[in-house]
Structure 1
Amino acid sequence: MTNISLDTAARITAAGIKAAAAIETPMNIAIVDAAGHLLHFARMQDALLGSIDLAQRKAKTSILFHMPSALLGTLSRPDGPIYGIELSNDGLVSFGGGLPIADAEGRVIGAVGVSGGTADQDVEVAQVCLTAL
């Protein structure tokens, strides 16, 4: 199993912090490895405390299912094919802010989870993290 390196995790977290500061929204940013274990975490000054857990769960959700957390949310709506899945795996997050991280060969090597703003802001900052990859 290939994993994201700590150096890479720190670099993409720094890019996310810069993006969150640019939109004046303090955020929590979590990077998990390919097994879903926390590798790197940052909480900006004044970021919501409740968002610490959300950032980590968004990242874990994305790595476990190799998809954006928002896509899992679409599939798990009451009329969706996997309704109720967010109750599995000690709790998943099924709204935006979690994105899988893939290497140059397309292998998923980790995931980023961002929380502290609106779901759209969280996705925007998570995308910046991926762009910094």
Structure 2
Amino acid sequence: MSDLTLAAAQTLVATALRTARERNLKPLCVVVYDARGALKSFAAEDGTSLRRGEIARGKANGALALGLGSRAIAKRAQEQPEFVAAVSHVVGPEALVPVAGGVLVRDGEGRVVGAVGISGDTSDNDEICALAGIEAAGFNGDTGA
């Protein structure tokens, strides 16, 4: 199994932010956790709005906690709002943000090695940047789609 190293996490963040600038997106916050939930890397671009970092953390935390990309968590929130509300209550409101932009990081064998959460633009654009960063770092992204 490949570990999500600091160098890989930094590549992920740099590529996600470069992708955002190439697409002329709003300023982003990017958070990367390893498989055990330890913070590996974080960046907040100049001009991000207040609490974007917490939202990015919630997207990544939720993906790790439930083993689902946050796109799947968003779908589940629509289908089973009571479940997602209950999980949010148990883990805390900043630990689960059920919208796209929280992506599981998988190695070549499909094992979860971490998660990335991005917030700042639309959730779909956040997810696009996460996937670009994950790929650049040599891993596969799992959005839950």
State the match for 2:54 in structure 1. 53
State the match for 2:116 in structure 1. 112
Structure 1 residue corresponding to 2:91, chosen from 86, 89, 92: 89
Residue 46 of structure 2 corresponds to residue 42 of structure 1? no
Between the aligned residues of both structures, percent identity stands at: 28
Q: State the alpha-carbon separation in 1 of the partners of residues 51 and 23 from structure 2.
A: 20
AA aligned opposite 2:89: L
- Alpha-carbon RMSD across the aligned residues, in angstroms, is 1.9
* CA drift at 1:57: 1.1
State the match for 2:130 in structure 1. 126
Structure 1: 5+ residue runs without aligned partners?
Answer: none
Check the 8 A contact 1:2/1:34 in 2, yes or no.
no
Q: State the alpha-carbon separation in 2 of the partners of residues 80 and 93 from structure 1.
A: 13
Structure 2 residue corresponding to 1:98, chosen from 90, 93, 102: 102
Matches within 5 A, 1:71-86: 71-77=72-78, 79=80, 82-84=83-85, 85-86=87-88
Q: State the alpha-carbon separation in 2 of the partners of residues 89 and 62 from structure 1.
A: 12
AA aligned opposite 1:127: L
Q: State the alpha-carbon separation in 2 of the partners of residues 127 and 86 from structure 1.
A: 25
State the match for 1:17 in structure 2. 17
Normalising to structure 2: TM-score of the pair?
0.83
Q: State the alpha-carbon separation in 2 of the partners of residues 8 and 126 from structure 1.
A: 13
* CA deviation map 1:100-125 (0-9, x unaligned): 00111111010000000011111111
Divergent runs of 4+, >2 A: 76-83, 85-88
SS of aligned partner of 1:76: helix
Q: State the alpha-carbon separation in 1 of the partners of residues 134 and 3 from structure 2.
A: 15
Structure 2: 5+ residue runs without aligned partners?
Answer: 138-145
Larger helix share, 1 or 2: 2
* CA deviation map 1:75-106 (0-9, x unaligned): 12264683423333123110010000011111
Normalising to structure 1: TM-score of the pair?
0.90
Q: State the alpha-carbon separation in 1 of the partners of residues 64 and 58 from structure 2.
A: 10
AA aligned opposite 1:114: I
Figure out how many residues of one structure are paired with residues of the other and give that number. Answer: 133
Residues 3 and 86 of structure 1: CA distance in aligned 2, closer, same or farther (over 3 Å):
farther
Q: State the alpha-carbon separation in 1 of the partners of residues 38 and 16 from structure 2.
A: 19
